[in-house]
A and B are shown apart, each in its own frame.
Chain A
Amino acid sequence: MKILTTVKKVVDVELNIHVESGAIVEDGLQYVINAWDENAVEAAVVLKENNGAETTLVSLGGGDMTDIIRKCYAMGIDNGIHVDDPALEKADSSVYAKVLQKVYETGEYDLIITGKQAQDTDSGQTGIMLAEYLSIPCVSNVIEIQVVDDGNIKVSRLGDAGTEIVEVALPAVVTVSDSINEPRLPAMRGIMMAKKKKIETTDLAGLGTSYDEVGGNALKSEVVEFMKSETRQAGQKFEGDAAELAVKVVDLLANEAKVL
């Protein structure tokens, strides 16, 4: 089986993010691998270990991806492709999906695993759109993947009414939730080996396409302004005897906030 996973480099959500005059202040930001993509990478490596597979990751976007691709190598990914095209800095989900479609077409993959969303946009669209453009099945928000045979997998998806067990014919796209696994911490040996592995770098022309063809010159939507989110203020915090505080807080909830 040939598995393709997608990896995006995103702003570290654990750090403070400042907004000034409609834009995010770059100063002080750090970039990390999207957490849900790490779950996708782990899922691919687990399938490789249990069922045998060739695993390839692709990362889209300008800039240096060496650190995150090497991290995925150290986790057990076999091949890495970086589509390094500055034009992709300005892209919507549909554009990303169309670029991934080109990557898919060069590799004849059986299974594409993506994170359910990216931590910078929180959009959750790319993997699903990719499947639509490729006219192949897609199951999103997946928490378990089992191989049935060469042509089929069985996945569990968290849906609105419960856990849905879905049998999927390959090739297919699966987007994973963080509930699927706990990404491994790479071992030292893996880290050392990862340093020696090469990363294939290409761009849109290298994929036989152009920014125009993937819809980059006719973005369906674009962010025009960033704003601070309405942050809550810390309220009253009490320390002391638990019983007394409980009495006091119930009184406040009932008579001040009027929510009881």
Chain B
Amino acid sequence: MAKILVVADIKQGVLKGSTAELLSKAKALGAETAVVAIGSNIESLVPELVSAGSDTQYIADDAGLELFSAGPFATCVVEAANQFDADLVWFGFSESGKAAAPRVAARMDIACATEIIDVNLDNGIEITRPAIANKVLQKVKVNTDKLVAVVRAGAFEADESVSGSENVVKLPAPEADLKAVIKELLSDASGEIDLADADIVVSIGRGAKDQAGVDLVKGLASDLGAGFGSSRAMVDGGFMAHNKQVGQTGKIVAPTLYMAFGISGAIQHLAGMNGSKVILAVNKDPEAPIFNVADYGIVGDLFEVVPVLREEIKKVRG
């Protein structure tokens, strides 16, 4: 039986959905599961880690782990992987995961794969992942006995019926990295809906033009209780925070409904949202590439379309 260690995705003290998704997939593969949770004041997360589907919980809880530092984070993961004798170490799709996974692989001298969307354990380890800005998929054969991987957002689904058992193992606090010291964290605005969790994402592009355009579409997003995202153009323009960028350099989202307003549909943007279930695009240009991936498209001016959309949506949602 394979042993799969999932690295808990904890953001500002909250356990993110990817942890349950990865553990569900591990269980579906018939694996023995463990989770490693790294941070400060996180022991209260144990019940959630258990119900997410882990059979062993490795906990590295130390004040020194409050702010993310890739070196010590990787040390904790390697420690847990060794104690558990994990065959697969999985990270959820996060900046911490992307930073730590190659370190863990280098230290354990095993293969590393990022953005995996599927795994097959029938004959050694084989994974599937997109490449070239999502234009192709590649099947990768792993030649080492073990693999460290970052799982692409939305690849696996959480299975509500899965559960685990409590077996907590405390890990020693890792040494701090004295050569790369985090001095400060300029926290993202709290209280906003995390794009990765949102069931509906409403996004704006350069077509929203100015603050009035941003506010207009933001109104629609709040009516819907949706995540409010954007293309890089609006981040570069200073209208939106970096953590709102959807695409290869930003967040990868796969909501039930993605609404794109004034976004052309550059390949780097599509790579972050074309796994959405349903896509609506509003764009003035009938030739905009976003229409090639949209289930519903309105060729028109967003300044005219959005107010009517808001009214109509209020009607149908009551």
Contacts and interface: CB of A to CB of B under 8 A. Distances in A.
Interface of A: 11, 13-14, 17, 19, 24, 92-94, 97, 116, 119-125, 128-129, 132-133, 136-141, 143, 154, 157-169, 172, 177-179, 218-229, 232, 234-239, 242-243, 245-247, 249-254, 257, 259-260
B132 A164 contact: no
Interface stretch (B21-29, B57-65, B208-216, B290-298): B290-298
Contacts of B143: 218-222
Contacts of B313: 250, 260
Contacts of A179: 232, 235-236, 242, 249
B170 interface: no
Contacts, number: 265
B114 A122 contact: yes
Interface stretch (B44-52, B155-163, B184-192): B184-192
A234 B136 contact: no
Contacts of B218: none
Contacts of A178: 232, 249
Contact of B292 (A232, A239, A242, A257): A232
A229 B305 contact: no
B41 interface: no
Interface string B208-242: 00000000000000000000000010011000001
Interface in B285-310: 286, 291-301, 304-305, 308-309
Contacts of A245: 298, 300, 305
23 contacts: A13-B135, A17-B132, A92-B111, A121-B131, A123-B113, A132-B103, A136-B179, A140-B98, A154-B183, A164-B185, A172-B180, A179-B242, A220-B143, A221-B111, A223-B141, A224-B139, A224-B141, A234-B291, A235-B279, A235-B294, A237-B296, A237-B297, A243-B308
A90 to B, nearest CB: 12
B298 A141 contact: no
Nearest to A173: B180
Nearest to B311: A246
Contacts of A122: 114-115, 130-133, 248
A119 B309 contact: no
B298 A222 contact: no
A226 B111 contact: no
B186 A235 contact: no
A157 B95 CA distance: 10
| B103, B115, B135 interface centre (most CB from chain A within 10 Å) | B135
Interface in B118-146: 126, 128, 130-144
Contacts of A94: 105-106, 111-112
A227 B133 contact: no
A158 B95 contact: yes
B206 to A, nearest CB: 15
Contact of B293 (A136, A161, A232, A246): A232
Contact of B298 (A165, A234, A246, A257): A246
Contacts of A242: 298, 300-301, 304-305, 308
B106 A129 contact: yes
A107 B147 CA distance: 33
B295 A235 contact: yes
| A124, A143, A252 interface centre (most CB from chain B within 10 Å) | A124
Contacts of A247: 308, 312
Given A165-B185, A234-B293, 20 more contacts: A17-B132, A94-B112, A122-B115, A123-B112, A125-B112, A136-B179, A137-B179, A161-B187, A164-B186, A177-B249, A223-B139, A227-B137, A236-B295, A237-B294, A238-B299, A245-B298, A246-B298, A246-B308, A254-B316, A260-B316
The 4 closest A-B pairs by CB, nearest first: A246-B308, A235-B295, A132-B106, A237-B297
Contacts of B317: 260
Contacts of A162: 185-188, 243
B104 to A, nearest CB: 9
Contact of B185 (A161, A177, A254): A161
Given A222-B141, A223-B140, A163 B185 contact: yes
A259 B131 contact: no
A32 B7 CA distance: 36
Contacts of A243: 304, 308
A138 B130 contact: no
Interface in B177-209: 177-188, 200
Contacts of A221: 111-113, 140-144, 147
A164 B69 CA distance: 9
B267 A14 contact: yes
